[in-house]
Structure 1
């Protein structure tokens, strides 16, 4: 156990009390490593967000069992209060609970609290060790920033004297998934502002945003090719914004090795070129589509490299989210190959998918129970965090927000749509992240959680239908200060012919939040007969209608900030036979069955290749049975594309923000060409 985790743990001695109250203004307890450590010692942490919901769960899962002399769901419960005002709690909790106070200011007394509060919890362990070892005296704000940059991010802005130094450190940061918090990025930007080699660069924006960095790299790759007499077809697009292209030293050894990996793993996309690349260095051909056979080799090598860095059971949810995006890029690229090319690399991709799903299932059994409690302030970890995160964004000044839910959109299919947008709206910048769907990964479970902001156990009466989504969406926003006329919900949007009517509705100035379900992907998946390769072709045809960019344009035109996500993904699966149980199973999906009692669940024959995984966040008496690996409860040997189970492609979905004041102009350029 690390010194950081041990420091938190010692505040909670075992067997001292059943019920604890932790005043935790900095969400220190809502770190998955802390949650896991506490759970191993018999503690559970439950954030106090809604008094009624908390009391219901407390009474049902804990107190009733304790009164009977049983442990119940846990030996002890910690009420996590995000603040220090105990008056916010019911008086009986304050009377019964044992109080503990935790705060960054107390744990890092020699560092500036105004700075360390901006540091992600993933860095607290390393920062605690560096603080205890190297902080010999109290540091001010500027010195604290330098301390964190040196000891946590391994970067010294005072040594970024040349362009190659900056690009090397920038790519190193983003390649390992640790871009700088905006506060530190601005600090670095201020220090290097007078450097003539860097003065034209948006330094702070590049250091803090991976999406901006990748778009700059992609655009600047064209400039690099042109310097070697090679012209890409992308560069012929007169509507492309060349202000994002810079002279990057791609051929510098320290820069080249990271760019090379980015092309192999799909983070950067190879480009079509005109003419022969005879003057181009051999290493740079990894970024070209000139050799059709090389694309297959690119997928094979990418699968190998990504597979070599599989997260394990000790990994964080961010590790899995990052991995899901890297794997999604490989799968998208794989399905874009011709059938002949795909046959040559299919085994490598299948091995990657199999190994990833096995590791993820093990991780889910250990850690999934902690995810619902994690904070959403810096981005949703699970889909039911999305409304709460959007409410925070409104509080931060985003007056109008649109949530687009692409029903059933897997990560690889998002990358296909993103590349379509990159071609049709080249100036569009998207900020990509990921979040976890609810288990089982079914629409009635996960999409309702997404729109309601609730755990499934909080909507037990509608867990088998989506009919209450509009009222649940409205209720969340009314509880967050909006009036009913300011809230919009619409589903079954999928064709360009529907967009004029949608635009008329969304143009109403009273509307502040809009929830829109785009269900074309789900419709394609449920009608798929040629697997995910066939789905890729159908998505391409749908994108060619212009629906996606027109939808984004009309939202941007009316001043909405756009957030795009999915309720679950989809996966190719093979039939293991139907379960003929009549009405014994209340919910019958292709990848999962749900039962109302242990007795009914036990009626499943032992020979069935399936497993149980029960979650506290599901309603009592809702017991899922999952088909093992990439299997489905359909006739033996039948190939289907389905969802409901536990796989990387089903469970981890995109969460995308389309930011910035230029978004309307970026999409309008495309709209005018259609």
Structure 2
């Protein structure tokens, strides 16, 4: 399908192309990357005012810089001056998959459509039910008949939850109905296990705990246990899964004092020493394998990088625990992964950052997509009031630590983590403003010092959605500074909150001893016994959940430990002077600085920066700071700075 679609977009042929794309065929990652490589800039904007602004920004349309404007509606509904002069195309799923039921196809996400395109298509027309079965088998590798055996279903669920590509409701419901008919699964909540990766992991961990308790209690390991939902003890095929479940983190090894009576198959899932060292070794191995797979496989997709980012964050959190003595071999392995990963990510980001920036629904990819996603949920009836908490500077590694502490204290909180890109350059004044306003940097570049305040930008976004200004409020939090904000936080008129907590950003910038210092300070902040801690914030979030608010947590950027390589002396030429980025409006000035600092990256023309703007960033983990100075900072394009968590917290009953 991609090859057929690309035939509509020959290079150097049409300055402006309008595409009616109700099924989001142009949102596929591989297709968007190829269009970007051919020089096209893709614009997708439903708001007529913002659309006009975007179009005027990219004028004049030329063969050297062609524009594709996509819409889910009719081309005739676009402005006439664009319609009149453009090359016009209509594309839809039934053109490319004529033998599959169109309403079922419409439930697929763009990445799933790209997988379908690589599969052998049926040679006859399929009914709705047969289409569902075909898609389950070809796109999701789900075989309900094979899933009658628990070890097959568990192995599939592990892979499925690592793909970050959830089943559409229609397909999931069909699969759940089939599996609920099997007697082995009467005690399982199949629907929740498919929908919620954390619930699945808790379920497996709980059953593993029961199996180990049975083993060390003195009972026969092969004694039938009808109370068990997962019969590890008497199913050799389930036992064969244990090493893989541990390696992928689905099972966390249980610490026991002795191994008397413990069968050989259970030993990969237990530990007799500090389990963190065992987990660290496993994380190093997993991360190395993921990096090698990207090196060997060429162009990895966004879902592959999300998986690596999560593993890398857990590894970074583990290796920087001050009370966990990683040996020199493990530390060198960590640094080796870093040396391989950073250039790989830089190349991939250059090719895909702009393409993914055009895809904001139904899943956000960039921080400036987040308000649009919240509005999308409101318009679909999924929420009527919301709290967006911005934890300024929250890296994915930080979130590993924060979520672990909060999960223990709030067992009724269910935290679902998605990943998005920060706005490049990854500095607060740009990335946080993009998140609050829903705008790209190119949309507010002339007001980079923000004559329109963040609070006003939040109100303006929701006013475009028809929400009264009195119902929208942005509030920086100062609960750690002896300021009573409780009356303001309880304002009953406000249904759309944006709260900003800069504690984590301050901890990072004050970490003079590097990343380990920053994580130690973060753990102190999470400790209820410390004088300044996160409990007031948690209490307020819990109150919002009880009041029926939809609660989301987002980050504007992450951070890295970097080493100084010197500071440019460019006078007033640089618009922004950070330790990981210098921002220039003058291209020649940026190139002069780069001549003095050749180990830098000149970032420009990404579809989100204005054409004339250049961000100059040190490569790897270097910083514009005194030679040899260790700093914890942000602004660059490392995986730690760019890929950040976007979390939804709900209150639900435990599985």
Report the equivalent of 2:502: 519
What SS does the corresponding residue of 2:616 show, helix, strand or coil?
A: strand
Equivalence map 1:323-362=2 (5 Å): 323-336=308-321, 338=323, 340-341=325-326, 343-362=328-347
Distance in 2 separating the partners of 1:440 and 1:88: 35
Q: Is the 8 A contact 2:545 2:650 kept in 1?
A: no
**Aligned residue in 1 for 2:645:** 654
Bigger Cα displacement from structure 2, 478-487 vs 463-472: 463-472
Specify whether residues 516 and 282 from structure 1 end up closer, same or farther in structure 2 by C-alpha distance, changes over 3 A only: farther
Unaligned runs of 5+ in 1: 232-243, 667-674
The aligned counterpart of 1:389 is 373
SS at match of 1:191: helix
Structure 1 residue 45, shift from structure 2 partner: 1.7
Cα distance change on mapping 1:467 and 1:533 into 2, 3 Å: farther
CA change 1:58–1:466 in 2 (3 A) is: closer
Q: Distance in 2 between matches of 1:19 and 1:320?
A: 32
Cα distance change on mapping 1:260 and 1:423 into 2, 3 Å: farther
Aligned to 2:404: 419
Pairwise CA RMSD = 2.7
Report the counterpart of residue 531 of structure 2 in structure 1.
none
1:59 aligns to what? 56
CA distance 1:205–1:287, change in 2 (3 Å): same
**Equivalent residues in 2 for 1:526-537 (5 A)?**
526-537=509-520
* The 10-residue stretch of structure 1 (575-584 or 636-645) with the greater mean CA deviation from structure 2: 575-584
Distance 1:399 1:258, change over 3 A: farther
1:299 is aligned, of 280, 285, 298, to: 280
Give the Å deviation of 1:19.
1.4
State whether structure 2 residue 265 is matched by structure 1 residue 276. no
Q: What TM-score comes out, normalization by structure 1 length?
A: 0.88
Distance in structure 1 (CA, Å) of the matches to 2:427 and 2:393: 9
- Find out whether 1:223 has 2:205 as its counterpart: no
How do 1:429-578 residues align onto structure 2 when only pairs under 5 Å count? 429-464=414-449, 468-493=453-478, 495=480, 501-502=485-486, 504-545=487-528, 546-578=535-567
Distance 2:176 2:144 in 1: 8
Which blocks of at least 5 consecutive residues in structure 2 are unaligned? 219-226, 529-534
Residue 67 of structure 2 corresponds to residue 77 of structure 1: yes
Spell out the pairing of 1:603-622 with structure 2 (5 A cutoff).
Answer: 603-604=592-593, 606-608=595-597, 609-614=599-604, 615-622=606-613
> How many pairs align?
634
Q: 1:106 matched to which residue of 2?
A: 95
1:125-176 Cα offsets, whole Å, 9 max, x none, are 332343xx34122222211111111122222113322333322322232244
- Please state how far the C-alpha of 1:520 moved relative to its aligned partner: 0.9
Please name the residue that 2:159 is paired with: 172
- Residue 7 (1) aligns with residue 4 (2): yes
The one of 606, 620, 632 aligned to 1:629:
620
Measured in 2, the distance between the counterparts of 1:619 and 1:107 equals 36
Task: Tell me the alpha carbon deviations over residues 511-537 of structure 1, each in whole angstroms, 9 at most, x when there is no partner.
Answer: 221111121110100100222212222
Measure how far apart 1:392 and its partner are. 1.0
Q: Is the 8 A contact 1:401 1:562 kept in 2?
A: yes
Alpha-carbon spacing, 1:328–1:193, altered in 2? closer, same or farther (3 Å):
same
Match of 1:157? 144
Q: In 2, Cα distance between the equivalents of 1:230 and 1:45?
A: 63
Change (3 A) 1:558 1:662: farther
Query: What's the CA shift string for 1:21-64, capped at 9, x where partnerless?
Result: 1000011112221122223334332113233333333334241x
Runs of 4+ in 1 over 6 A off after TM superposition: none
Distance 1:383 1:110 in 2: 38
Q: Deviations over 1:479-517 (max 9, x none)?
A: 01110111121114453966x734x43433332211111
After TM superposition, give the deviation of residue 291 of structure 1 in Å.
0.7
Deviations 1:615-653 (A, max 9, x none): 331234432110111000111111111100011111000
Question: How has the CA–CA distance of structure 1 residues 269 and 567 changed in structure 2, closer, same or farther, with 3 Å as cutoff?
Answer: farther
* Deviation of the 1:606 alpha carbon: 2.1
The answer (yes or no) to whether the contact 2:565–2:627 under 8 Å persists in 1 is yes
Q: Using a 3 Å threshold, how does the CA distance of structure 1 residues 252 and 352 change in structure 2: closer, same or farther?
A: farther
Quickly say closer, same or farther: Cα 1:219–1:461, change in 2 above 3 A. Answer: farther
Displacement of 1:581 after TM fit?
A: 2.4
Separation in 1 of the partners of 2:451 and 2:394? 17
Native 8 Å contact 2:366 2:420 kept in 1: yes
CA contact (8 A) 2:150 2:230 kept: no
Closer, same or farther in 2 for the Cα pair 1:246/1:62, shift >3 Å?
farther
> Is residue 37–residue 351 contact of structure 2 (8 Å, CA) maintained in 1?
no
